[in-house]
Amino acid sequence: MLEEIEGLEFFEDIHRYSYQGNWLLHSVTGVLSFDMSPIVRKRINETRDGEDGWALRGTTIHAALEQHLLGEAEVNPGRYQEWIEPLLDNWLVQNTNPIAVEYRLCDPRISLGGSFDFLIQYKGKTILGDLKTVSTAAAVESRKAATAQLGGYLNMMNYHHPRLWIDRCVTLVSGPGVAKVISSDPGECINAWEDAWGRYSVNLEVKEPF
C-alpha cells in the first residue's frame, strides 16, 4: 500500500486539510464548485441530510467499497443494498490489487488538499478512481465523468509520487441496481484540472501558501 504523506492531516468535522502544521487554503472540491449556480447549490443543500439524503448514502456506499478493497468485513448495507451489491460485483473492483484507498493528497505550492477514493492495479494497469453515487438508475447513465476532479488528484500524485505511472482514470458510478465505469485519459484529466484551476485563480484571490 502507498505510504501516507508525512505531515498531511485531514480534519473531518471541518473538512479542512493541514500540511506541516499549516492550513491549506483550497480543496479540489472547493475549486470545482466555486462557480456553482445558486439554484444548484440550494438544491444540493436541501437534499443533503436525512434518511433519504445523499450524504448518508454516499458515506455508506463509500465505506462499503473501501472495506471491500481492503479485504475487510463489509458494512451492513441497510437500505443501500441495491446500490452496494452491483457496485461490489462490478468488474473493476473484482480481483484487483489496491494501492491506496481513501488517500489524502496535497500540493503545497498552491495550498491545495484533496482525497481520492481508490488507486488499484487491474490486469497490469494502474487506475486512479473516484466513486460517485446517484439516486436512480437513469442518473447512472447521465452522470458525467469526474474528469477535472481526477485531474486534480493526478496532479498531486505527480508531485508526491512522480515515479508512479497511472495508466487510466475512472469515474465509478453507483446507482440502484447498476454500477458503471467511465474511463478517461490521464492527459485529458490534467488539462481539465488546469482549466478549472485557471478559472478559479482568476476569479478568486489566490494567496501565497505559506
Gyration radius from the chain CA atoms: 17
Percentage of the chain beyond pLDDT 70 is: 86
Cα-flanking dihedrals φ and ψ of residue 36, to 5°?
-65, 140
- Global pTM reads 0.89
Instruction: Give the integer Cα–Cα distance in Å for 186 and 127.
Output: 10
31-55 residue pLDDT tens: 998 876 666 666 656 555 566 655 7
pLDDT at 76 exceeding the cut of 80: no
pLDDT band for position 206 (50/70/90)?
Answer: very low
Using H for helix, E for strand and C for coil, what is the string for 142-184? HCCCCHHHHHHHHHHHHHHCCCCCCCEEEEEEEECCEEEEEEE
> Pairing relation of β-strands 8-11 and 125-133?
unpaired
Task: Provide DSSP, 77-114.
Answer: -GGGHHHHHHHHHSGGGSS-EEEEEEEEEEETTTTEEE
113-136 residue pLDDT tens: 999 999 999 999 999 999 999 989
Residue 115 parent element (H or E): strand 112-122
Instruction: Give the integer Cα–Cα distance in Å for 186 and 119.
Output: 13
pLDDT band for position 210 (50/70/90)?
Answer: very low
